[in-house]
């Protein structure tokens, strides 16, 4: 029996290796560029050599090894591929809104590698996105960290298999509206949100203990204990308590941010990132002291009441208080110009170029637990690279080429009109989408839970 399971494990392991080996890796030499490493300064007239998807050398006068294509990037800027720590592109569905806790749900089951949003984000220099569950639940589903390998047909090939697990939490208006007001169950208020969290984690502690007791008992001879019922939801919460999953929590108001910090402390949880965090600036010292930081909008505010007391200086205040800060999109349009969103931290708070660029590269990489692999131009890291005409923080910049693992997936010079990978055979005429509603998906699939459809149409759903 044991032998069989070893065999099965080996088989699974091999097939996983096979899957990872399948994703394309490229080699390229980028010549004579201004190289913005983000973590290691800016270097003029510098080359970047990539071999088999890994950055091999950064320096001057590098010769292209045999068979490696050389790209002249004179006058252009090279930076790490942009990482969006909050996105919903490449997902068929976003919300499983049926219960205040749905930790068992996994976004990797609904990844759609054909979505045109992947290509469009590549055209904005974005090489990775954090495909998140929606914000309808206090504890939402588990997210998927994607690498934008456009053209793959297997969803597994655009998932970053070596990224740690992350999970979506949500506080405030969205979960209280869906569950309290929409369905008449807790939480209806921010008090209820805390209760849902504490109840969930306490139940998970009991579940953990039941399994630990059983495992201990099993090792005794002649033991006849029956295993506790397996529960994916509680197991996932237990994994959070064991530090195996990073929490990414949708939050706006300072009080709810502070609440979750206290809950996390009480349960010994330290892997915690706040998302949106519009009032994060009010509790910046607390966020800096205890968490993995905040991922924020550059300037979005006033689309709902909990973001009315916001400031576009949020990112700068957080940064200057020592918070690991990233700028995210949560939006299929905004994701295309995160370089521009990051640049707004210079208008609002005067951040340096490196500070601004870190907010869309190394900082989101830290928050996703992948900063040892991506997020800066360093030898040994995965070759996710974007080339820009004009400094990427200038309003007039234009992205030129985007590489993932050294493979070029966007080149402005060979950008064709129709980049769709798959066309629906049931659609006679291609729909024309006039409004921006398509872009806002944080509360997608919860439409039936609102009082009137009209109210929904008017709303941004972040």
Partner 1 sequence: MKRYTKTFFAFLFALIPVLAMAQIDGEFVKPRSGKFLLQNATVHTITNGVLQNTSILVEDGKIAQVGSGISAGDAEVIDCAGLVIYPGMIDSGTSLGLIEVSSVAETVDNQEIGNFTPNMQALTTVNPNSEAIPVTRVSGVTTVLTVPSGGLFPGTAALINLVGYTPDQMYAGAKAVVMNFPSSGRRGRWDRRSDEDIKKDNEKALKEANEFWDNALQYHQMTEKGATLDYYPEMAQLAKVVSGELPLLIQVNAAADIQSAIKWVEGKDTKVIFSGVAEGWRVADEIAKSGIPVITGPVQALPTRESDRYDAAYTNAGKMAKAGVKVALRTDDTENVRNLPFHAAFAAAFGLGKEEAWKAVTINPAEIWGLEDQLGSIEEGKIANLIVSTEDPFETKAQIMHVFINGYRIPLSNRHIRLYQEFLERSLGLEKTK
Q: Return d(Cα 336, Cα 121) in angstroms, integer.
A: 5
| Site string (399-428) toward partner 1, x via CB under 8 A | ----------------x-xxxx-------x
Kindly state whether residue 395 participates in binding partner 1, applying the rule CB under 8 A: yes
Beta-carbon contacts of 350 under 8 Å, excluding residues fewer than 6 positions away, are 316
- Smallest gap from residue 257 Cβ to partner 1 (A): 13
The DSSP secondary structure of 337-358, one letter per residue, reads: GHHHHHHHHHHTT---HHHHHH
Q: Return d(Cα 263, Cα 191) in angstroms, integer.
A: 12
Angle at 338 between CA 334 and CA 343, to 5 degrees: 125
Return the number of other C-beta atoms located less than 10 Å from residue 70's C-beta: 15
Q: Return d(Cα 275, Cα 330) in angstroms, integer.
A: 10
Kindly state whether residue 372 participates in binding partner 1, applying the rule CB under 8 A: no
- Indicate the residue among 121 and 361 with the shorter CB distance to partner 1: 121
- Indicate the residue among 87 and 142 with the shorter CB distance to partner 1: 87
Question: With contacts defined by CB under 8 A, how many residues of the chain interact with partner 1?
Answer: 75
Name residues contacting partner 1, limited to 293-332 (CB under 8 A).
299-305, 308-313, 316-317, 320, 332
- Indicate the residue among 119 and 207 with the shorter CB distance to partner 1: 119
Asked whether the bond before 187 is cis by omega within 30 degrees of 0, the reply is yes
Q: Return d(Cα 86, Cα 376) in angstroms, integer.
A: 19
Name residues contacting partner 1, limited to 225-284 (CB under 8 A).
262, 265, 281-282, 284
Please choose, out of 80-88, 153-161, 345-353, 376-384, the segment that lies near partner 1 by the rule CB under 8 A.
345-353
76, 88, 120, 271: residue in contact with partner 1 (rule CB under 8 A): 120
What token pair was written down for 122? 């590549």
Kindly state whether residue 6 participates in binding partner 1, applying the rule CB under 8 A: no
Name residues contacting partner 1, limited to 93-112 (CB under 8 A).
none
77, 119, 274, 403: residue in contact with partner 1 (rule CB under 8 A): 119
Kindly state whether residue 76 participates in binding partner 1, applying the rule CB under 8 A: no
Nearest to 370, CA basis, from 164, 144, 132, 79? 164
Kindly state whether residue 21 participates in binding partner 1, applying the rule CB under 8 A: no
**What's the Cα-to-Cα distance from 302 to each of 29, 113, 118, 196, 459, rounded to whole Å?**
46, 33, 28, 27, 11
Please choose, out of 19-27, 267-275, 360-368, 448-456, the segment that lies near partner 1 by the rule CB under 8 A.
448-456
Kindly state whether residue 148 participates in binding partner 1, applying the rule CB under 8 A: no
Kindly state whether residue 347 participates in binding partner 1, applying the rule CB under 8 A: yes
Kindly state whether residue 150 participates in binding partner 1, applying the rule CB under 8 A: no
């Amino acid at each position: 029996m044991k032998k069989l399971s070893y065999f099965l494990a080996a088989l699974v392991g091999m097939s996983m290796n096979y899957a990872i080996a399948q994703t394309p890796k490229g080699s390229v030499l980028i010549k004579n560029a201004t190289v913005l490493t983000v973590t290691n300064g800016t270097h003029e007239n510098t080359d970047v050599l990539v071999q088999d998807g890994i950055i091999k050398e950064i320096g001057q006068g590098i010769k292209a090894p045999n068979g490696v294509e050389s790209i002249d990037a004179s006058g252009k800027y090279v930076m790490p591929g942009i990482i969006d720590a909050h996105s919903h592109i490449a997902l068929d569905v976003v919300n499983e809104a049926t219960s205040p806790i749905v930790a068992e749900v996994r976004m990797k089951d609904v990844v759609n590698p054909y979505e045109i949003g992947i290509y469009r984000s590549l055209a904005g220099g974005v090489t990775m996105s954090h495909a998140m569950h929606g914000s309808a639940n206090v504890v939402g589903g588990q997210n998927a960290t994607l690498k934008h390998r456009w053209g793959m047909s297997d969803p597994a090939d655009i998932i970053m298999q070596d990224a740690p697990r992350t999970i979506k939490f949500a506080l405030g208006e969205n979960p209280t509206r869906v569950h309290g007001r929409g369905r008449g169950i807790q939480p209806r208020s921010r008090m209820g949100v805390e209760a849902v969290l504490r109840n969930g984690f306490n139940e998970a502690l009991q579940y953990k203990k039941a399994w630990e007791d059983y495992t201990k008992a099993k090792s005794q001879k002649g033991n006849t204990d029956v295993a506790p019922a397996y529960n994916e939801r509680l197991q996932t919460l237990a994994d959070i308590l064991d530090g195996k999953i990073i929490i990414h929590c949708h939050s706006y108001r300072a009080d709810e941010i502070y609440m979750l910090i206290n809950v996390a402390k009480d349960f010994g949880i330290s892997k915690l990132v706040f998302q949106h965090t519009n009032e994060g600036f009010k509790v910046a010292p607390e966020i800096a002291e205890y968490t993995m930081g905040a991922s924020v909008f550059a300037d979005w505010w006033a689309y709902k009441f909990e973001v009315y007391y916001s400031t576009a200086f949020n990112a700068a205040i957080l940064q200057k208080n020592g918070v690991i800060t990233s700028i995210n999109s949560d939006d299929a349009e905004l994701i295309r110009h995160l370089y521009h969103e990051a640049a707004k931290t210079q208008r609002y708070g005067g951040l340096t170029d490196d500070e601004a660029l870190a907010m869309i590269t190394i900082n989101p990489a830290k928050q996703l637990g992948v900063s040892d692999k991506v997020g800066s131009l360093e030898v040994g890291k995965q070759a996710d690279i974007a080339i820009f005409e004009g400094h990427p923080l200038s309003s007039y910049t234009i992205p030129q080429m985007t590489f993932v693992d050294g493979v070029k997936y966007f080149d402005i010079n060979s950008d064709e009109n129709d980049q769709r990978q798959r066309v629906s055979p049931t659609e006679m005429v291609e729909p024309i989408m006039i409004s921006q509603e398509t872009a806002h998906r944080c509360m997608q699939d919860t439409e039936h839970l609102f009082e009137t459809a009209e109210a929904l149409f008017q709303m941004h759903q972040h």
